[in-house]
Amino acid sequence: MQNHSEYSYTVEAGKATIEGFHSHYRSGDSDLAHDFFIPCLEHCSTYKRAVGYFSSSALVTWAEVLPRITKLDTIKIQLLISPHLSEQDKEAIRSAVIPGEREALLQKAADKIVLDALSFIQSPEDTQLRLRLLTWLIASKRLELRFAFPVHVEDPGIFHEKIGIFEFPWNWTVAFTGSANESTMGHSKNYESIDVYRDWLPEDSERVKVKCEQFSEAWSNQAQGLRIRRLSPEALRYIQERAPDDDLPKPPPRVREGSENRWRHQDEAIDTFLKEERGVLEMATGTGKTRTALRIYEELVQLHQIESMIVAADGTDLLNQWYEQLLPVSQKVDRPYSIVRHYNKYHESERYQLDPHQKILLSSRKALAPVLRSLQVSEQTLLIHDEVHALGSTKNREDLSGLSDPIRFRLGLSATPEREYDQEGTDFIETHIGPVIFRFEIADAIRREILAPFSYYPLTYQPSEEDRRKLQGIRRRFEASKHSDSPMSQEELWIALARVHKTSKAKLPIFKTFIGQHPNLLTRCIIFVETKEYGEEVLETVHQYRHDFHTYYDEDDAATLARFARGDLECLITCHRLSEGIDIQNLTTVILFSSARTRLETIQRMGRCLRVDPSNPQKRANIIDFVRAPDPQHPDNSDQQRNTWLQELSEVSP
């Protein structure tokens, strides 16, 4: 038998091999893989395949054929397949009555095939290589997948057409039909047969023409009674992010001894939660809070402990990020879950309320209470509150009190769960979710090389005379209000005083001088300001050194953040929107014009730039902070306390 480990691409060799094909191949008499499929894949320029039964696991096994074609720069593969739909999937598609829902379910079934295959990583290294190869082929556009759904009758079966077409660079075409599916089983292990047609033979040319027309009609969504779906942009992005960057996939590098222990805190957190069933994981930003939560979900599904999940968070950006991470994970578990969104422009909670079984509700926190009130919440539910410190607000305490009591598994995630100066809010978090059951802090993460070390630049300023007049006025109003019917609370006093410090114009000339000496710090930089108006004044200095900047306030388009993430913009000026949950690994500098009295906001904001960057292993982040000079009346103000804490933290090294 020919040795196919050596590649020979000359026209003469290819013609000699293909010209020798028989008109029929049958298992037992022939080896379909080595006598037909591999020689074709070795010499063709295009492979077009429409095939019947195809499931997620079949996509992984099909990858075994692909290593033999990775050296062909010009080869294109078009694969039209039928996703395997469970009876439950079919019923869901039949019964979809909400406009657009049927299309969404069909799209989900199509995406599931690739997302399952990419997530299905077994222990043997060759399987990991096949999956890397598969992602590379799709991301490099050598392989294009489309999915066929019959609609020719009311209750259709699967797409079961089986056509294959190989086109060769010397203008020959081979078409084939038969029982073989596109898998290792179909190529080698099952008992199969195929009929082969060669267009250079007069007796076969018409059959080849017909098969090419039939495939083209189906592929272009022109075939009657057949609906074709491509991979969604979300699924393609997921694939491309995980595809190897090099031209030819190689086996993954050997993991150095002990390096996997960097992430052992995630295993420890998971074990702790599964034992406690309720509680908060206090994990520094960038140490994998979301990934840990998703692994807890996978574990509970595997153990048949849950049948539903609710994820609550604040902010469209953070919720969208959750959706992107939930999408592949929700499909790779043994019992795939559908995702229902209820935030911003999505209003899908009714679907969850009607039947929460094997569904994930991804909801804004403010929209959660009506859903929980209307549900007969099953004990077999996992409730996740991301950035759980926000749960303790007065409004949330009023709306959500008691509503989580029937839920067995309650998980809170935060880098800073305790609400400083708000014991009532902290107590509510413990009642609603549970106590802190696991801690992994910034210093721990820097020492373990999970977060980047950082340099700290404290810029000292003196409040201006205008600032002092404003501060004195606020204190007088506070004293006067003590004798009124509605006295100012201590918290209201702190907020009013802090706003003066956060918007002090005394910082602006100091910033201008500093950036003039360090203009490079405006590269991959986020500047946090208190108000849009103050941000406009900061922009006057930024504009002298950079043109590729933008503001990102509540009214700004979310596409601005995407532009910043991919490097089209180098500097963002924002208020609050980026404090939580956004993952941009190559961010290097955070400038804090606005810093809160509590550590909560500072930790969230500095956490934006402490994430390690695989493309920059030596990354060292920068924190630029404005620190109010001490005065006789307030020698140890909150800025001084933050300065001491950040100085100590900046000295931590791996």
Which band of pLDDT confidence, cut at 50, 70 and 90, is reported for residue 607? confident
**Neighbouring residues of 324: CB distance < 8 A, sequence distance ≥ 6:** 234, 237, 238
Q: Is the pLDDT of residue 599 over 80?
A: no
Q: Is the pLDDT of residue 512 over 60?
A: yes
Which band of pLDDT confidence, cut at 50, 70 and 90, is reported for residue 573? very high
**Neighbouring residues of 138: CB distance < 8 A, sequence distance ≥ 6:** 114, 144, 145, 231, 236, 239, 240, 243
pLDDT at 141: 74
Q: Which residue has the higher pLDDT, 28 or 349?
A: 349
Q: 60-64, 82-86, 256-260, 264-268 — which is least confidently predicted?
A: 256-260
Per-residue pLDDT averaged across 194-204, rounded? 93
Q: Which segments within 71-169 are labelled E, that is strand?
A: 76-83, 143-150, 163-167
Which band of pLDDT confidence, cut at 50, 70 and 90, is reported for residue 250? very low
Q: CA-CA distance, 289 to 266, in Å (whole number)?
A: 8
pLDDT in tens, 411-454: 999 887 666 557 888 889 999 999 999 999 999 999 999 999 99
pLDDT at 259: 40
Where do the H-state alpha helices sit in 448-489? 465-481
* Average pLDDT across the chain, whole number: 80
Q: CA-CA distance, 174 to 172, in Å (whole number)?
A: 7
Dihedral of CA atoms 257, 244, 285, 550 in degrees, nearest 10, equals 150
State the DSSP code for 30: B
Q: Is the pLDDT of residue 157 over 70?
A: no
Q: Which residue has the higher pLDDT, 591 or 96?
A: 591
Quick one: residue 464, left, alpha or beta (phi over 0 = left, psi -120 to 50 = alpha)? beta
**457: its two tokens:** 């630049």
- Percent of all residues in the chain with a pLDDT value above 70, rounded to a whole number: 74
Residue from 161, 328, 179 nearest 228 by CA: 161
pLDDT at 297: 94
Q: Which residue has the higher pLDDT, 476 or 107?
A: 476
Which band of pLDDT confidence, cut at 50, 70 and 90, is reported for residue 156? low
Strand ranges across the sheet with 278-283 = 346-347, 338-343, 359-364, 308-313, 381-385, 409-414, 278-283, 436-440
Helix pair 87-95, 101-119: axis angle to 10 deg: 150
Contact 554, 314 (CB under 8 A): no
Which band of pLDDT confidence, cut at 50, 70 and 90, is reported for residue 252? very low
Q: Which residue has the higher pLDDT, 636 or 643?
A: 643
* Partners of residue 53 on adjacent β-strands: 82
- Percent of all residues in the chain with a pLDDT value above 90, rounded to a whole number: 33
Per-residue pLDDT averaged across 99-128, rounded? 53
Q: Is the pLDDT of residue 151 over 60?
A: yes
pLDDT in tens, 350-404: 888 888 888 999 999 999 988 888 776 667 899 999 988 888 888 889 889 888 8
* 361 SS3 class: strand
pLDDT at 270: 94
pLDDT in tens, 5-45: 333 345 777 788 898 899 998 877 777 777 888 788 778 88
Which band of pLDDT confidence, cut at 50, 70 and 90, is reported for residue 254? very low
Q: Is the pLDDT of residue 552 over 80?
A: yes
State the DSSP code for 73: T
Q: Which residue has the higher pLDDT, 299 or 247?
A: 299
* Partners of residue 24 on adjacent β-strands: 195
pLDDT at 195: 92
State the DSSP code for 261: G
**335: its two tokens:** 């019992």
Per-residue pLDDT averaged across 628-643, rounded? 78
Domains for the chain: give ranges and CATH numbers.
Answer: 11-242 (3.30.870.10), 262-440 (3.40.50.300), 454-463+504-650 (3.40.50.300)
Which band of pLDDT confidence, cut at 50, 70 and 90, is reported for residue 482? confident
pLDDT in tens, 277-317: 999 999 988 888 999 999 999 999 988 899 999 999 998 88
pLDDT at 581: 46
pLDDT in tens, 64-92: 555 555 555 567 889 887 766 555 555 55
Q: Is the pLDDT of residue 159 over 70?
A: no
Q: Is the pLDDT of residue 107 over 70?
A: no
Contact 492, 557 (CB under 8 A): no
Q: 321-330, 363-372, 594-603 — which is least confidently predicted?
A: 594-603
Backbone angles phi, psi at 367, to 5 degrees: -95, 0
